[in-house]
Amino acid sequence: MNRLVNGLRAACAFVLLAALAAPGARAALAPWSALAGKTVLLVTGGAESPEPNDDARVARHLRKLGFTVRTADAAAPASAAAGASLIVLSSTANAHELGDKYADVPVPVFTWNTYDYPNLGLTGPVLHRDYEVIDPVQHYADSFAVLYAYGANITSEISRAVGLKPQLFGTLYLEPETAGWGRPGPGGTVIADFFGSRSHAAVFTYERDATLADGRVAPARRVAFYLGNDDFHLLTAVHGPAAKDPNLRSWAIGRKLFDAALRWAVSPPPPIPTYDPAAIDAGIRSVAHGKRVLFVERVHGGEGHRSDANMVAHLRSLGFTVVVADQTAPQSVARGMSLVMISGTCSKWKLANKYDEVRLPLISLEGLLSDSLHFTGRDRYRDYGEHGELLESDDPPEDYLDIVGAWSPMAAGLKPGLVRFTYHPGVLKWAWPLPDATVIATLPGEPHEDAIFGYPKGARMAGGFIAPARRALLPTDNPSYDDMTPQGRALFDAVVLWTIGG
């Protein structure tokens, strides 16, 4: 029996490691050939669709990609999606008719019905703050501005598929056009944005099991795209000799982005991790041998010294070789290491910008280093901060985290929603990372105060810095490690396991 349990555990560890090895720890896009023949339900306004519209063109395009297309009117019941592999919601469907009927359907949804975003939980409910449709009649000047968008994320599968760069690109062909934007919740991934603002996402996604903006959990993948009723045919593309120019190729990517996002939506998502601390433990042990961890702390410090010692002991018990360095030691001590972990006992002032460019995976336990490590912007209290620090924070101590990225192996298989991180309320740090980061947990009720997140290698971080290896934030303040619940410890280990993978 024990052998069976151990075998299963080893299998779990293998799956976990395989997931961690993938770029960004996400599943790859399925080849088009694997998607051919799948059924797409295209929901339009039917006879009530505004004219002109591109629904027929979209249907033709989907068929050309190999899908079998079934159409339904906005008024059709959600059961219309039975047997479909993908639901596509056109903006021609009346959002009030659509309501939230597809919100809980465990089928991927690809939508450009901006007014329906709140019904699906993709954004908050407030027009102009959480979502908006720019159109040439109401917003003539802005309808030119939406002909351009910025690549916000360069490491997602969609971004990699189109070679998205952190720069401007052409969304639609040159006419003042209708386009929508939304502000996703922290569980969402912004792929491209308007106006250089991640709060004005042109294209954004939710992985299956990610927490939506309204707190519900995505039952399948969700994609929001910036199109209007009749501008599918104006999605940018380049052909002929001009396509040999790499700048033009990375400029006119609207159609490629549409196709890649569509393909991502309908590709199989990664398996949902299960909460199994022993499997994570086994996973770490299988990779720890021969790996050297540089643990940077305030040597012989006061508060937190015991916690630091216990973390070091834990890492050693897993099989790592741990070298402890004082915060004032030169960065060269990282040479030959496999992972750098910066303790919350370190003083930002004394650390003096070290380790930001180190080409090793790095975990910061100190959220206040988030600006110097390029995790976020430079505005303390807006871009990063802390809860519960007496005299330094207006916010009360906290002991819970809100899991919003349950799909990621960094979430240790914990279910979406609140999880008790420490036994007692204490200081918890946070930062608001850029769209390339995968956010695992926020502080409760604070969607932009992200307590656990990770940047994959190659991610665009603050100030245009490109992550030379994985980067992660854990919110443990000086003594918190000793106060962690088993769930907190599992998160700690899962983040270590993910980070050392790249």
Partner 1 sequence: MRIRSRIARAGAVLAALAAATGVALAGPFPYRVQHRIALTGTAPVRALAAGPGAQHVYAAVGDEVRSFDLTGQAGSRVKLPGVVTGLAAGAGDTLYAVVGAPARLVILSVRPLHVVVSVSLHAGAPSAVVFDPVADELFAESQAGHSVTRLDPGTGRRLGVVRLQGELMQMASNGRGTLYLANAERNALDVIDADRMAFSGDIPLARCRAPSGLAMDTLGRRLFVGCGNGRELIVDADLGYTFVTLPIQRAASLQAAFAFHPLGHAGWKGGTFVAGGSEVDAIRMYAFVRYAGGGRLALTRPATALASNPAAGELWLAEAPRAAAGADDEGAGPQLLVLGPSCAEASR
Among 4-12, 243-251, 358-366, 404-412, the segment contacting partner 1 (CB under 8 A): 243-251
Phi, psi of 27 (to 5 degrees): -70, 150
CB of 248 to partner 1, least distance (A): 7
Does residue 87 sit in helix, strand or coil? strand
Nearer to partner 1, 175 or 303 (CB): 175
Beta partners for residue 26, in sequence order:
none
* Of residues 128 and 239, the one with the C-beta less far from partner 1: 239
Interacting residue with partner 1 among 2, 77, 141, 239 (CB under 8 A) = 239
Of 498, 372, 383, 468, nearest in space to 434 by CA: 383
* Cis ω before 23 (30° cut-off from 0): no
Q: What is the DSSP string of 115-174?
A: GGHHHHTSB-S-BTTTEEEE-TTT-TTHHHHTTEEEE--SSSHHHHHHT--SSEEE-B-S
Binding mask 91-130 for partner 1 (x = CB under 8 A): ----------------------------------------
Q: Which residues of 204-233 are buried (b: 16+ CB within 10 A; e: fewer)?
A: bbbbbbbbbbbebbbbbbbbbbbbbbbbbe
Selected from 63, 96, 129, 233, the binder of partner 1 by CB under 8 A is 233
For partner 1, the binding residue among 31, 52, 445, 486 (CB under 8 A) is 52
**In the stretch 186-225, what mask flags binding to partner 1 with x, by CB under 8 A?**
----------------------------------------
Token representation of residue 74? 């906005």
The yes or no reply on residue 238 touching partner 1 (CB under 8 A) is yes
Please give the Cα distance from 177 to 194 (Å, whole number).
Answer: 13
Q: How far apart are CA 375 and CA 371, in angstroms?
A: 6
What mask, x for binding partner 1 by CB under 8 A, covers residues 133 to 172? ---xx--x--------------------------------
51 or 394: CB nearest partner 1: 51
Angstrom distance (rounded) from CA 281 to CA 303: 28
In whole angstroms, the minimum distance from the beta carbon of 138 to partner 1 comes to 10
Q: Could you say which residues in the range 398-437 bind partner 1, by CB under 8 A?
A: none
Distance from C-alpha of 202 to C-alpha of 392, rounded to nearest angstrom: 36
Number of neighbours of residue 124 by Cβ within 10 angstroms: 18
- Footprint on residues 296-335 left by partner 1 (CB under 8 A): none
Among positions 18, 36, 127, 243, the unique one binding partner 1 when judged by CB under 8 A: 243
Shortest distance (Å) from residue 47 CB to partner 1: 20
Q: Which of 28, 34, 65, 248 binds partner 1 (CB under 8 A)?
A: 248
Pairwise CA distance, residues 425 & 422, whole Å: 7
In the set 45, 118, 151, 176, which binds partner 1 (CB under 8 A)? 176
Does 244 contact partner 1 by CB under 8 A? yes
Interaction between residue 34 and partner 1 (CB under 8 A): no
CB of 254 to partner 1, least distance (A): 10
| Residue 61 CB, nearest approach to partner 1 (Å) | 10
Q: In 3-state terms, what secondary structure has residue 2?
A: helix
Residues making contact with partner 1 (CB under 8 A): 52, 136-137, 140, 173-177, 233-234, 236-244, 248, 252
